[in-house]
Structures are given as C-alpha cells and as structure tokens.
Amino acid sequence: MPELPEVETLARGLRQTVLGRRILSVTLGKTDFIDDPIALEQHLPGRQITAVERYGKFMLLRLMPPTGVGTSGLARNGEADGKKTSESLLVHLGMTGHIAPHPAAQPCAKHTHACFLLDDGRELRYMDARRFGRMAYLAGEALEEELRGFGADPLEVSAEEFVARVRTRRARVKALLLDQGLLRGVGNIYADESLWRAKIHPARLGAHLTRKQAGALHRALRTILEKAIVMRGSSISDFLDAEGEPGEYQRRHRAYGREGKPCYRCGTQVRRAIVAGRSSYFCPRCQPVPRGSALTLPLPKRKTKQRRNAIGRRGSG
C-alpha cells in the first residue's frame, strides 16, 4: 500500500528512467479506475514527460504538448514552462498498483491496465490487481481544483502549523493523520509508526493533545517519513519501486503489523484495535488509552451476511 515514502521512491525512480521521454501511444485495458479514459487516449500521445512529482500519495507526470518549432520544454526556461504545462497525468496506486517501464516486447504482466509506449522502445505500464488506484488526465483549472483539495505536505509543514491544525480538531488523532485534506500522503503504516514514536494513543482526540505532544508527533512523523524514503519505502504487501526492487523500511516497523509482539521500548505486547475504521497497532503501555475511550476490538462479532448489489462505479468528474 504505497504511502508517501513509497510514492516518493517511485517518483525518484521514474525521474531517472522516463523523464524527457515522449509518449507515442496509449493502450488501455480495464478502465473503471480511470476518470476519463478517452481523455488519456486523446491527449497523451505526442506529449513529453517533463517532470515527475509526488503530491501526497499521488504521482504527477507533468506533460508538455509538442511545440512544433523545436522548442523543447525541458531545455529552456524550465520554470516558466512548468507554469504553462499544467497538463498532468495523475496516478494513485491504491493498494496494489504498480507502475514501471518495461521493454515493449516483453509480455504484459497480469492485471496490466494501462500501457504508454515511449519513444525509446519501452512501455510505461500500470498494473493494479484490485484497481483501487486512480488515473486521470487533468489540466488547467481542473488540475488546480483537484490539488487544492489536499492538505499540507508532512515533510514541509511547519511545527506551528501542524500543531495548530491538530489541536483545533476533535477527531481522533489517527483519523487526523489519515485525513488527506489535512495532511497529504500519510497512510495507515506511517500513522501508526509516528504515533508509536511520539507515544500517543491513536484514539486520542486532536484537541486533547498538549502542544508538546502535538509537536512530538510532528517531529516523529517527519523523522519516520524521511527514514522510510532513505530505505526506499515499506514492502509489506507487494510494493516494488520503478526498478522492481522492494523497499526495506518494513524491517524498521515498530508498531504496524506487530500485534502480540513485544514493544521495542518496553516489551509490552503490541495491541491491535480498530480506530478511525482502520487496524491500528500501538503499545498499550507507551501509548495509554485516553480516559473514557471505548476501543473497538478487531473481529467484534459475526456480521449479517447480505447479498450485495454490486455495480456503482466511480462517477465522471
């Protein structure tokens, strides 16, 4: 499940391998995870990839239309061009998404749903077994509006702003960390890891944190994300970078996925509970439960098995 460090790792890899390449053609498989498949087929061919950026958990491939008079967008005033070329391909990997260049002659792996033939004989391929990801071609105001909906980058936000944002909210701190509108890029793994490091229980309310605690959380989050990027992300399920290599940060996990194992600080067994609708791992001793908080335990009861209705895809835009 790619979060900020995994997407950053991927973006850096793609920057090395596909920056400056031109997209010759587009081939799509299943398209129910793409906002407007026709737009991809219409706008991408001929575009040059002029930048690869990470925006929260999104990857942005910045695109430059053919200019005709030989003015390569990359060569000259890159900054000014960056303004003009607002065209972008947004890619969200969901939980099982992969994106990497392959030799065009190589057979497509299972669940390959988008192929972008490049001008160097390779194909940038998007694979996603569950298609929980998202892909969209956006430009101009539509792009700006999309990006406007996201909060601060956790690596850039100042301590003051982070503390202010968290302490003015009455939601659980875990939910706040996962709220992409508040902070962009944090997912379940790094939320739990930073809360463990800051010794804060995930069910604490943001407004109930002291300034010191909120500050500690800001530092913990930043430290962990930076270390995770250095280690090329966490490969807990099947994350692979642009070179097809797994990350290493899962070896450093202190809370996530460690139910029943001893806390690295105090030896107490790490617990799992459902907080903000997500599995949350924490040390009950280092991260004491807030008073009056009833924790939801995992596997609470048998559920009423009803036939579901299926259908109902993502809307247009």
Partner DNA sequence: CTTACGGCCTGGGTGC
Partner DNA sequence: TGCACCCAGGCCGTAA
Looking at the annotation, which residues are catalytic?
Answer: 2-3, 57, 278
Size of the residue set binding DNA (CB under 7 A): 44
Q: Is 289 left (phi over 0), alpha (psi -120 to 50) or beta?
A: beta
Is position 277 an interface residue for DNA (rule: CB under 7 A)? Answer: yes
Minimum CB distance to DNA, residue 16 (Å): 25
Choose which of 22, 122, 131, 197 interacts with DNA (CB under 7 A): 131
* Nearer residue to DNA within complex by CB, 6 or 81: 6
Per-residue contact string for residues 162-181; x = within reach of DNA by CB under 7 A = -------xxxx--x--x-x-
Rank residues 32 and 156 by Cβ distance to DNA and give the closer one: 32
Rule CB under 7 A: say whether 148 interacts with DNA: no
How much is the CA Rg of the chain, to the nearest whole Å? 21
Least separation, in Å, of the C-beta of 303 and DNA?
6
In terms of CB distance, is 12 or 278 closer to DNA? 278
Residue 151, number of CB atoms within 10 A of its CB: 18
Q: Is the Cβ of residue 85 or residue 188 nearer to DNA in the bound state?
A: 188
According to DSSP, the β-strands at 134-138 and 23-28 are unpaired
Q: What element of type H or E holds 314? A: none
CA–CA separation, 101 vs 124, rounded Å? 4
The beta-strand segments (E) located in 10-166 are 23-28, 48-55, 58-64, 88-92, 97-103, 112-118, 122-128, 134-138
Q: Specify the residue, 44 or 273, whose C-beta has the smaller distance to DNA.
A: 273
Taking the C-alpha atoms of residue 272 and residue 286, their distance in angstroms, rounded to an integer, is 14
Tokens 């962990």 belong to 224
Which of 11, 177, 189, 228 is close enough to bind DNA by CB under 7 A? 189
Return all residues near 9 (Cβ < 8 A) that are at least 6 apart.
229, 232, 233, 241, 242, 247
Q: Is 215 in the site for DNA (CB under 7 A)?
A: no
Applying CB under 7 A, which residues contact DNA?
1, 32, 57, 92, 94-95, 110-111, 129-132, 134, 169-172, 175, 178, 180, 187-189, 205-206, 276-279, 296, 298-299, 302-306, 308-313, 315
